[in-house]
Structure 1
Amino acid sequence: MEQPAPFTYDGGRVDPGETQNIRYTVSETYLGDPVKMPVTIVVGERAGPTVVITAATHGDELNGIEVVREVAHEWDLSELRGRLVCLPILNVPGFIAQQRYLPIYDRDLNRAFPGDRTGTGAQRMAARIFENFVAPADLGIDLHTSTRGRSNMLHVRADMGDDTVERVARAFASNVIIDSEGAEGTLRREATAAGTSTITVEMGEAHRFQRSLIDRALDGVRSVFAEFGLLESAHVHWPGWRTVVEDAGEKTWLRADAGGLVDVRVERGAFVEAGERIATIANPFKTSTTAVEAPFDGVLVGVLENPVVYPGNPLCHIVRVDERTRTAIESHER
């Protein structure tokens, strides 16, 4: 029986059949105290791919943390083929402060990859994470939520022009896949460029655990593990319907044309028809109202949760679906 290679990082090694929980130093505070990131590494007794699962690149995005923790500490991984690296909280300073960006450097960690050991504080932290735990992997799943005040349905963002990334994205079993390379400096773009085929999973909103979304994401992770042979007992999951958004013209953010209070009439994940009223914006006296309508038949992948807006604020993110997908959605919901 062929065994996987030990997993090594700067300062340690995990051998086949072993699991290690470590706190890995990624930076220092103003007082010179170490900033330590929690890491769980599991190396199976049989050879297979290496997968890295990451969350809380933005410190207030919490749903993914619970997904990573449950995979690492509640799943039976005794039959694991390959190696698993679990990073539940990448942005430790942001998590402690419960804010999106790095409070020490006021930078977006998810624009700092692959990092630079002699660069900014964010780049130095990113380099420590990337070189030790991301670049050695074959596959990556990076878990996110929407920013505060908005909420996303569970969906995948992936560079579908990369064959392995496409395979990961489809295996994750989300209804919606948005095809994009990702912005420069994002974990998934830079990881994929380095040979770690990585997808982003968006789900829910910041500052909370949302159990139904966490459970769906866990199903997605298990489905990826099945697709790539990491767990023999797992099965690849089909979500019932799917749309892959490949063209920028097939998705849009609807924005407020007036300031006021917003009454959103639909929930994230809902199917809406062209011309259907999605929201109404009104002033405090309700003497002036502005209707917001769907520009085409589509699914709302993101919606506003905070009901106050200025002109230009985003209200909802809609992706177009064709008649075939619409029929599949309606059949699945019956």
Structure 2
Amino acid sequence: MGDGEAFTYNGGRVGPGERQNVRYGISETYLGDPVRIPATIINGEHPGPTAFLSAAAHGDELNGIEVVREVAHEWDLSKLAGTLVCLPVLNVPGFLAQQRYLPVYDRDLNRSFPGKEGSTSSKRMAHRIYTNFIEPCDFGLDFHTSTRGRTNMLHVRADMADPDVHRLALSFGSNVVIDSEGPDGTLRGEATAGGVPTITIEMGEAHRFQRGLIDEALEGVRSTFAEYELLEETAVRWPGWRTIISGSSEKTWIRADAGGIVDMHHERGALVHEGDRIATITNPFKDDDAAVEAPFTGLLVGVLENPVVYPGNPLCHLLELDVETRRILEREQSGGTARDSEET
């Protein structure tokens, strides 16, 4: 695909220079009515790669929906070189119910790829999405948010050991890349294993449109399109600084040791130093507050939004930084600007 030929799926064809808005059937309701996902396919007049943009594999993750919609319907794609497959809402039943998983089935669509015909409901849905709209592509961007009650700064998750994924992840131009293989059944993990390099973009919180994060993600899409020459007028962006977190340091969750009400003292994206108080946990019946301190100097990629916890609940996602990145962030935090340099 992407070489000036038609994009085909089961039941349709989009020729060069054509656009289609499709509601594609992937399942049926109890009444036998079709469950359809929206898809917009734009096949440019000029040859180039085929890319998919997907969102709302979890039905309550809304930020990515607006990113995909704006690219499909508000960008000038008249000079597109290649094909775009825009899938703003993968989990339509979850979206309609405003919940994370497939309602009734209680399955995670993003643990069901690449799917299987004749299997469970979620795997049948995933199979129809995957074979028709993912498998024909050359690469993909899959947009997510944190689960409800938490929020993430915008960052990329990618298997950086794969050279094609490595290129894709850096092209998006985010400050933070978390290097990890996608868990079994995830869209990015299974698509990458199937020869379609894919990254996940995490941004913000569930049940929200957050304009600043949406705009930042749109800049990342433009940067990726520049890298793969889908649009001529764009340029690959350098975010000012970048850190790639890999291996055993992929995740460090700071968890509550006491139940109660949480006062978070820092927002997502903040640099905190070892010993800084990240949060205070209290309750209505006692005066002895429990302080939660940073065990090392790092970046708060994700923080709690819902201010109540049981012992063991996650409070924040703290990433340890290399010395140079830490210095850049310290200068920014003190009112300076990041060093304008080439990435090493």
TM-score (norm 2): 0.95
- Residue aligned with 1:287, SS: strand
Gaps of 5+ in 1: none
Q: Read off the aligned partner of 2:282 and give its amino acid letter.
A: A
Residues 1-334 of structure 1 mapped to structure 2, 5 A cutoff: 4-249=4-249, 251-333=251-333, 334=336
Shift of 1:288: 2.3
The answer as to whether partners of 1:250 and 1:320 remain within 8 angstroms in 2 is no
Note the alpha carbon deviations across 1:70-121, whole angstroms, 9 max, x for none. Answer: 0000000011111100000000000000000000311000000000011100
- Provide Cα deviations, 1:129-149, integer angstroms capped at 9, x if missing partner: 000000110110000000000
| 2:29 partner letter | T
Alignment root-mean-square deviation, CA: 1.1
Q: Is the 8 A contact 1:241 1:332 kept in 2?
A: no
Aligned-pair CA distance for 1:3: 5.2
- What amino acid does structure 2 have at the position aligned with 1:190? E
Distance 2:287 2:182 in 1: 42
* Cα distance in structure 1, aligned partners of 2:281 and 2:3: 60
Deviation at 1:195, TM superposition (A): 0.9
Distance 1:65 1:332 in 2: 31
Judging changes above 3 Å, is the alpha-carbon distance between structure 1 residues 187 and 241 closer, same or farther for their aligned structure 2 residues? same
**Structure-2 change in CA distance of 1:110 and 1:3 (3 Å):** closer
Quote how far apart the aligned CAs of 1:286 are. 4.4
Question: How far is the alpha carbon of 1:312 from its aligned partner?
Answer: 0.4
Q: How far did residue 251 of structure 1 move?
A: 3.3
Percent identity between matched residues is 68
Which amino acid counterpart does residue 130 of structure 2 have in structure 1? Answer: F
CA distance in 2, matches of 1:167, 1:174: 13
Q: What do the CA deviations read for 1:132-176 (whole angstroms, capped 9, x no partner)?
A: 000110110000000000000000000000111111111111111
Distance 1:176 1:220 in 2: 12
Q: 2:3 and 2:157 mapped to 1: Cα distance?
A: 33
Q: Which runs of 4+ in 1 moved over 4 A?
A: none
Separation in structure 1 between the aligned mates of residue 139 and residue 165 of structure 2, nearest angstrom: 8
Q: Is the 8 A contact 1:251 1:320 kept in 2?
A: no
Code of the aligned partner of 2:54:
T
Offset, 1:323: 1.4
Counterpart Cα distance in 2 of 1:321 and 1:9 = 44
Compared with structure 1, are the counterparts of its residues 96 and 212 closer, same or farther at alpha carbon in structure 2 (3 Å cutoff)?
Answer: same
8 Å CA contact 2:178–2:250 kept in 1: the answer is no
What CA distance in whole angstroms lies between the structure 2 residues aligned with 1:179 and 1:286? 42
Counterpart-to-counterpart distance in 1, 2:327 and 2:57: 37
Is residue 249–residue 319 contact of structure 2 (8 Å, CA) maintained in 1?
no
Write the distance in 2 (CA, Å) between the matches of 1:258 and 1:3: 58
**How many pairs does the alignment contain?**
333
TM-score (norm 1): 0.98
Q: Within 2, Cα distance between the matches of 1:209 and 1:135? A: 29
* Greater alpha carbon shift after TM alignment, 145-154 vs 249-258: 249-258
Is the partner of 1:102 in helix, strand or coil?
coil
Work out the CA distance in 1 between the residues paired with 2:330 and 2:279. 22
Inter-partner Cα distance in structure 1 for 2:173 and 2:332: 14
Question: What amino acid sits opposite 1:315 in the alignment?
Answer: L
* Cα distance between partner residues in 2 of 1:93 and 1:19: 26
Q: Is the 8 A contact 2:54 2:89 kept in 1?
A: yes
Supply the AA of the counterpart residue of 2:289: T
2: CA distance between counterparts of 1:76 and 1:45?
13
- Counterparts of 1:107 and 1:13 in 2: how far apart (Å)? 31
Q: How far did 1:331 drift?
A: 3.7
Deviation at 1:285, TM superposition (A): 3.3
Does the 8 Å CA contact 1:60/1:94 hold for their aligned counterparts?
yes
Q: Single out whichever of 292-301 and 259-268 deviates more from structure 2.
A: 292-301
Q: Matches of 2:250 and 2:140 in 1, distance apart?
A: 26
